[in-house]
Amino acid sequence: MTAPDRSLTLHEDQAPERATFLAEALAGLRATPRTLPCKYFYDEIGSELFEAICQLDVYYPTRTELGIMREHAPEMAAELGERCMLVEYGSGTSEKTRILLDHLSKPAAYVPVDISGEHLLESAQATAADRPDLEVLPVCADFTREVELPVPSTEPARTVVYFPGSTIGNFGPEAATGLLDGMAELCAPDGGCLVGADLVKDRDVLRRAYDDPEGTTAAFNLGVLRRLRDDLGAELDLEGFEHEARWNEEHLRIEMHLRSTRSQTIRLGDETFAFAAGETICTEHSHKYTLDGFAALAADAGLRVETVWTDPKGWFSVQYLVLR
C-alpha cells in the first residue's frame, strides 16, 4: 500500500464543467417555479460557509449526528467489517468519518468524493496526515452522476458508501431513490450504505436551523447567485435578493428560497429573466423522514435497513442499508 503524504493529489477530477453549470442554471431559471441546483453552493467559499453553519447553536443536525457517531461508531464499524473500502459522498471536513475510521478494522482505503476540489484536497490531506497507514484516494466529482472509483492497493472485502449529514434529504423521493440505487450498484454484491437521515421534529426547531439570526445561512444561500455572477458572468444584483426558509407540511421538508425584493432582471448567457417583487428561486429542499418512510425509500432502491442508530431525542438517524 502506498502511504499518503503531503504530496497527495486528486485521484481524478470529475467536477462539472462550466458548460454543465450554465446549462443547469438556465434550465432552472426557465422552469416554473424557478430553481437553482443546491450542489452549486459548494465552491471553496460555500464549503467554508457550510462548515460555519455546522457550528451554529441553532443548527442541530451536525452536533446530533456527531453524538450518534461518538456513541455508536464501534457498532457501525463491526457492521462494515474488516478491509472495507469506505467511499464518502460529500465529504466536507470528514469529521464524522474520522470517528468511524478510528474504529474500522484494517480499512482497505478511504475514498472521499466531493464537488469542491480545493476543499476536498485540503480535507483529504489532513486525514492522510493523521493516518499514515491508510490509503486515501480523493475524487472530485458530482456524486449525483456516475462516479468512477479508484482501485486501491489493497483488495477490499467490500465497498461501503458513507453518506452523512442528511444530504439525502436534499433530493425528492424519485431523485433520492435514484441516488440510493446508484450507491447500491457501487457497493454490490456484499457491501452496504451508511446514511444519515434527518427525522421529523418540532417545526420551530426546524425553521431556526435553516434561518439563523447571524445570517450565515443567508450568505450560504446567496452564494449560488454569487457563483452565477462570478463563474458564469451573469448580470444580477445580489442585494436585490434575500434568504427565506419555509416549512412545507405536505411534503415534510424545509425549503430554501431566494426572494426578489423588487422588480429586476437576471441576465445569464443570451437570456434575460424578469423577476417581480416577491418572486422566488427555490435553491434547496431538505426532506425530513419518519423511520418507516425512509425504510420505504430504501426499499424502492433495492435496499433494506439493517440497523438504525438515533440520538435520545429521536431527532436524527444513521442507518445501515444492505442489498435486499
Confidence of residue 1 (pLDDT cuts 50, 70, 90): very low
- Residues facing 289 on adjacent strands: 199
Tell me the three cell numbers of residue 36: 437553482
In the block, which residue shows the cell 471553496? Answer: 44
Q: Report the distance separating Cα 102 and Cα 131, nearest Å.
A: 9
Share of the chain above pLDDT 70, in %: 95
| pLDDT tens column, 23-80 | 999 999 999 999 999 999 989 899 899 999 999 999 999 999 999 999 999 999 999 9
What pLDDT shows up at residue 7? Answer: 55
**For residues 203-211, average pLDDT:** 96
State the pTM of this model.
0.90
Report angle CA 307, 311, 315 to the nearest 5 degrees: 100
pLDDT of residue 50: 93
How far CA 3 is from CA of 85, 96, 127, 207, in Å, comes to 15, 22, 12, 45
Strand runs (DSSP E) across the chain, as ranges?
A: 12-14, 34-35, 84-89, 109-114, 139-141, 158-163, 192-198, 241-248, 253-260, 264-268, 271-275, 280-287, 303-310, 316-323
pLDDT grade for 173, boundaries at 50, 70 and 90: very high
Tell me the domains of the chain and their CATH numbers: 1-232+288-324 (3.40.50.150)
